[in-house]
Structure 1
């Protein structure tokens, strides 16, 4: 009775959503985000909305983070919108940590990558799209965050948990669809390759060769086979999503195909929402909150995707330089804790027999 992934790892998302909702109700989340945003505003010189959005995306993700600055989206410049999109692409939601850890990603690497991606995303955003206009929202103290609408903590806890149920099933459905789609593409490419005399082709191999120069420059390892595998993971994350990429990472580490250093750099480089599927999500999300800004968003969204990808890859490169003794984490297997009816029956019979005699 192997554990079902939807109920063995993703259910933690419901708990996280409820806890975040309660912290937001008590004002803890707003206080923490504003303090961090002030520090980033002081050190990086970015505006209040850019700093707050980057911090919020680190903890809440690109779907919930922009909700904190929704009243100010209409007043933002194109460069500020570019920074918000970039931070959304370069970060991941804290609620997904448990799922990635179950795939075999090291928790300390995930936390470090998520924290470093906030200032990194702002830096690369300003390099690709510098500010040429005067912002109306420079100081963090001028921001007024929305207050929760719930009347008490119990209602807040219930609403927070219920709001994550759809997210859990959406993630599960996406995993099924994208894994099936990857298998279909592998079969089609393998069949086409066999027709011209090249067997063993797959979609991941093609992505690996495309991203191989980048992975090699990042200094994954001297082993070219491992560098190619990390490049395949980077390509899968960009073309499909990071969930499928982390799942493939767990399969590779379990099979002994990646060293500790290669797995570490892969963990850092995959820790972002920078994929083509997220483009539509972010464009629709921000466009619905600021309809007048949608033409601007449609022009800058692909450049923001590039900046978000570069930010996560740069963070992985820095980690490869600074960390001398990386740790290799393996996927968690919860099958041993599942109920085994045969074992239960045998134990019951043995206990009954001993009690009689």
Structure 2
């Protein structure tokens, strides 16, 4: 039964994407089938094999060690603030972003990350049939973050036509940055975080290839990565540490605002209609949860969490998921994979603002197709969760 539901889920995603396609005649189906097959193989390997278990355990243990090191700095500054046996979200989940951001800066400064990202991007461009720039950007987004990635290709931003700019922005919204992966792993199981990271990479290409198909000519297929301004090692380190702290503060501020607003709206809806706003949204998203593989008896509950992610952000939704202790492991796994992306309304503003900061005209272009960006990125999450559901 779950295989039939998964096939239905993939067909629904393809149908919704095809219906909104810019140019259906230019869709190239061969790369799509190759990437879907790759998603299935990778999901099986990560979730159902000893090799996948070993890789996920290794990835998770690296982040566990990093978080332990991060806690040394956090305890030095904030030790004694928290009560015994308590686990403040800001201290334990968000502040480690500062340390991981510093490590990313070091890997960037030593040219290790640019080398890895560039050549993984070149390999991907052979698989997905897209340009080198698009493939580089998808990998770089997962490392650098959805706004920072545009700085690395700022030389080309102003020269890109609308359709190529859309693909770059779609990649940034469909993935998550490595600096906050450790935070996710403290909220949901690491295997679902890793699986989502891998599946979303290919899912972004699949959805963009249908929603926004085009062919990049050899003359256009140029990748110009902007070298960062030459800084001393400690200048760079200070910059990345401050950037990490800004991210932690921004996420904390958004959590305070969104959690409070959702509580207020739930209270108003409950008082007037006898049903919370999240429960109402749950009914709207329930069919999508079902085609992803969530049992129908839990579809409304899962749909509520999915909707929370889209109208607020993935952190709020992950906190909400933790409260649903009666959900089956299968439903939790599928919803967890869905939550690992930046597909929410606030990301439209973040991405448009990042591009506008580099090129005002192109930033306005991004703002105009913002809702289509969110539509595509949400379908990427649905596709990834559906494929993962085959093996849960």
Which TM-score band applies after superposition, normalised by the shorter structure?
0.7 to 0.9
Which TM-score applies when normalising by structure 2? 0.75
Task: State the match for 2:184 in structure 1.
Answer: 100
From 256, 281, 293, the counterpart of 2:362: 293
From 219, 227, 237, the counterpart of 1:146: 227
Counterpart Cα distance in 2 of 1:41 and 1:98: 28
Task: State the match for 2:349 in structure 1.
Answer: 280
Task: State the match for 1:176 in structure 2.
Answer: 256
From 211, 218, 237, the counterpart of 2:309: 237
Counterpart Cα distance in 1 of 2:315 and 2:286: 21
Task: State the match for 1:206 in structure 2.
Answer: 280
Measure how far apart 1:134 and its partner are. Answer: 4.9
Residues 12-23 of structure 1 aligned to structure 2 (within 5 Å): 12-23=96-107
User: Deviations along 1:301-320, whole A, 9 cap, x unmatched?
Assistant: 21121111101110000000
Measure how far apart 1:230 and its partner are. Answer: 1.0
Task: Call closer, same or farther: CA 1:247–1:311 in 2, change over 3 Å.
Answer: same
Counterpart Cα distance in 2 of 1:30 and 1:309: 28
Task: State the match for 1:25 in structure 2.
Answer: 109
Task: Call closer, same or farther: CA 1:291–1:136 in 2, change over 3 Å.
Answer: farther
Measure how far apart 1:258 and its partner are. Answer: 1.2
Measure how far apart 1:179 and its partner are. Answer: 0.7
Measure how far apart 1:146 and its partner are. Answer: 1.2
Counterpart Cα distance in 2 of 1:112 and 1:175: 25
CA contact (8 A) 2:348 2:373 kept: no
Counterpart Cα distance in 2 of 1:100 and 1:287: 29
Counterpart Cα distance in 2 of 1:35 and 1:132: 21
From 200, 205, 218, the counterpart of 1:117: 200
Counterpart Cα distance in 2 of 1:251 and 1:60: 31
CA contact (8 A) 2:152 2:225 kept: no
Residue 185 in structure 1 maps to residue 285 in structure 2: no
Where structure 2 has 5 or more consecutive residues not aligned to the other structure, the ranges are 1-82
Task: State the match for 2:175 in structure 1.
Answer: 91
CA contact (8 A) 1:49 1:137 kept: no
Where structure 1 has 5 or more consecutive residues not aligned to the other structure, the ranges are 194-198, 325-357
CA contact (8 A) 1:265 1:320 kept: yes
From 187, 192, 211, the counterpart of 1:128: 211
CA contact (8 A) 1:246 1:270 kept: yes
Measure how far apart 1:156 and its partner are. Answer: 2.4
Measure how far apart 1:44 and its partner are. Answer: 0.9
User: Deviations along 1:173-197, whole A, 9 cap, x unmatched?
Assistant: 111111100110011101111xxxx
**Max radius of gyration: which structure?**
1
Counterpart Cα distance in 2 of 1:87 and 1:240: 20
User: Deviations along 1:11-32, whole A, 9 cap, x unmatched?
Assistant: 2100111001011100011001
Measure how far apart 1:119 and its partner are. Answer: 2.1
From 141, 157, 161, the counterpart of 2:241: 161
Bigger CA drift: 21-30 or 55-64?
A: 55-64
Task: State the match for 1:251 in structure 2.
Answer: 323
From 142, 149, 154, the counterpart of 1:70: 154
What RMSD over aligned residues (CA atoms) do the two structures have, in Å? Answer: 1.7
Count of aligned positions: 308
Counterpart Cα distance in 2 of 1:60 and 1:207: 32
Measure how far apart 1:267 and its partner are. Answer: 0.8
Residues 271-350 of structure 1 aligned to structure 2 (within 5 Å): 271-321=340-390, 323-324=391-392
Task: Call closer, same or farther: CA 1:8–1:295 in 2, change over 3 Å.
Answer: closer
Which TM-score applies when normalising by structure 1? 0.82
